[in-house]
Structure formats: C-alpha cells, structure tokens
Homo-oligomer: A and B are copies of this chain.
Amino acid sequence: MSRSNPRVLNTLERAGGFASAQEVYRLMQREGQSIGLTTVYRALQSLVNDKIVDILRREDGEAIYRLCGDSHHHHLVCKGCGDTIEIEGGAVEKWAKSLAEEHGFRDVGHTAEIFGLCSKC
C-alpha cells in the first residue's frame, strides 16, 4: 500500500526539496494539478515511512519535509530578523552517531539548529 504519490514527490523536488505539506499542496493547486490536501499529507507521510524524506519542524511548529539525499546541513537562525545561514555540521554528525551507537540505537537521525542575534540585530 505504497501511497508515495509520485506527483507529490515530484513537486517536493521542484520546491527545492524542502517544503511543508501546505506549501506542496498550494503549489500543486497553482499549477492546476488536481489533488486533495489529504492525499498530500498521506503521500508525504508515506515518503517519510519509506525514508525518502525527513521531517523537521519550523520554528512555529509546522512540519517541513526534506528530501533525503539532499546535502545534509543545519541552520544558524537570527531571532531578530529571521535571517538563516546554512552551515555544515561535521561535529554534530559524529556526536549523534557515536552517542546513538553507544546506546544501541539504529536507524538514527538528528536535528540541530543554532539561534541567536546576528551582528545587524
């Protein structure tokens, strides 16, 4: 029962591999594709199950879906102006991996974001 609707996956790809369910839905609507919001949610959930996309959270709690295989990176976010800088997370990758192993976890992912005030704010 793979509900990984290819049109949804395709839209997520074209959205830069990083979008919320609502955004994917609105984008497909705008393009004239006929699809229901429910199906978008189901397709994304299915893609998550199949480990084709990751799920993260925006600051306001909205879920955003990230295509796996996208170059994995983290964010440095300014609490003042909202500016976001993509950063590498080498140290974090190693940290997450070694700790997970240490506790016998498998199939491991992680999130890591840094926030503060940028020099302008």
Contacts and interface: CB of A to CB of B under 8 A. Distances in A.
A23 B9 CA distance: 37
A99 B114 contact: yes
Interface size on A, as a range, is: 20 to 34
Given A57-B61, A61-B61, A92-B92, A103 B85 contact: yes
Interface of A: 57, 61-63, 76, 78-79, 85, 87, 89, 91-92, 94-96, 99-100, 103-119
Contact of A116 (B76, B109, B117): B109
Contacts of A103: 76, 85, 118-119
A100 B113 contact: no
A117 B107 contact: yes
Contacts of A119: 103-105
Given A57-B57, A57-B61, A62-B61, A100 B112 contact: no
Nearest to A109: B115
A121 B49 CA distance: 15
Contacts of A107: 79, 116-117
Given A89-B95, A91-B91, A95-B92, A111 B109 contact: no
